[in-house]
Amino acid sequence: RKEVEQDPGPFNVPEGATVAFNCTYSNSASQSFFWYRQDCRKEPKLLMSVYSSGNEDGRFTAQLNRASQYISLLIRDSKLSDSATYLCVVNVNSNSGYALNFGKGTSLLVTP
Amino acid sequence: DTAVSQTPKYLVTQMGNDKSIKCEQNLGHDTMYWYKQDSKKFLKIMFSYNNKELIINETVPNRFSPKSPDKAHLNLHINSLELGDSAVYFCASSQGGLVYHEQYFGPGTRLTVT
C-alpha cells in the first residue's frame, strides 16, 4: 500500500461548483497533514495545513479523520484559477529526521 | 526577491555525464531538501540537510551526492547520469528539520538525459 494515496482525477467542474478531494495515508504515526497546490510546470506551494478539528480558509475546508487515516479538501465556489494539482502531504518523524510524504496529486480543471 | 532559487532551470545531457544542480535560499532557513518528481508527477524526498548536516538520506543511488557549503546552499551532484534520472528536481527549505514548518520550493530543474 502506498504511503499517501489520492484519486488522480482529473476532476472537471464548472465555475461555481463545489468539489471535494480525498486522501488516505498508511502510517498511523503520522502527525502533520497538509494540502499543497502545484500549477502546471511549477513548484508545489502550501495551500493549507490540516488540523484535527478541521479548518477553513476562505473557500477551502480541510478535514482530518485520524481513526480512518483519511484527509479531505473541499473547495466551494470554484474559480478558474483553482485549476491545478492538489497534493496531499503527510509527515512522518523518524530517527533520521523529518520527512514529508507526498501523494501523487489530484488534478482539478475548472471550466467556464 | 527569489526565496529559493535553482540553477540551471533546464539541463539536457547525455548518459554517463556528471552534472550539478545548485540551490540557494535567502529565507534564513536552517533546513534544505532535494526532491525528485518523476514523469508520473510523484514527488519524493531524496535528501535533507539541517545546519549543513545530513539528516535524511532516502534510498537514492550513491551516484547522487548532496553538498551543503553553508546553511543557505544545498547543491546536488549526479555522477554517471542514466536515462532514469530524467525528472524535475526541486530544492526546498524550511525553518526546523525535526518539527514541521512550511516548506518553500524552488522553481525546479528539469533534467533530461539522452
pLDDT digits (tens, 9 = 90+) for B51-77: 778 877 777 899 999 999 998 999 999
| Residue closest to B24 by CA, chosen among B83, B79, B75, B77 | B75
- The string of pLDDT tens digits covering residues A49-86 is 998 888 999 999 999 999 999 999 999 999 999 999 99
Note whether A43 contacts B42, CB cutoff 8 Å.
Answer: no
Q: Which of A33, A37, A43 is the best substitution to test chain B (most B C-beta atoms within 10 A)?
A: A43
Tell me how close the Cα of B15 comes to any Cα of chain A, in angstroms: 24
Given a cut of 90, is residue B78 above it in pLDDT?
yes
Note whether A99 contacts B106, CB cutoff 8 Å.
Answer: no
| Residue closest to A73 by CA, chosen among A18, A4, A32, A20 | A20
